[in-house]
Each structure stands twice: as C-alpha cells, then as structure tokens.
Amino acid sequence: MTDSLYIEQLLEELEGKGLVIRDGKTTDGWERIYLLNPVTLPVSERRRQAQIRREAKIL
C-alpha cells in the first residue's frame, strides 16, 4: 500500500468519526484538511458522536 493511499484511508476513517473536516483546496491546489481533537469538542458533541458510533455498530 502506498503512503498516499494509507493516508487517504486514514483520513476517511477519521472523517467517519467526525474528526476530519475537508475544506476545499488552497490557492496552490493542496487540499485543506482540519484534524479535530475530540477532547476539545463540547461534551454534547462528544456524546452525539458516541451515539452515532454505537448506532453504527448496531447496523
């Protein structure tokens, strides 16, 4: 597996957990990506994401 493929899969996994925000491209063509620290999210958001993960495991 190439490094870029591994990174893309990792980003998709984190995006599924709500920890990655993709925000278009920079002026020089690079993709703008924000990685969120789950500890700094508000408690209500952490609970919402935990509920989503629990529901996803049920399906």
Complete DSSP assignment for 19-41: -EEEEEE-TTSPEEEEE--GGGS
CA atoms within 13 A on the CB side of 40: 4
How confident is the prediction along the chain (59 residues), in pLDDT tens digits per residue? 788 888 889 888 888 888 888 888 888 888 888 887 777 777 787 788 788 777 776 65
Yes or no: say if 49 and 38 are a contact pair by the CB < 8 Å rule: yes
Read off the pTM: 0.51
Yes or no: say if 49 and 18 are a contact pair by the CB < 8 Å rule: yes
Rounded Cα distance, 33 and 24, in Å: 8
The full set of domain ranges for the chain reads 3-58
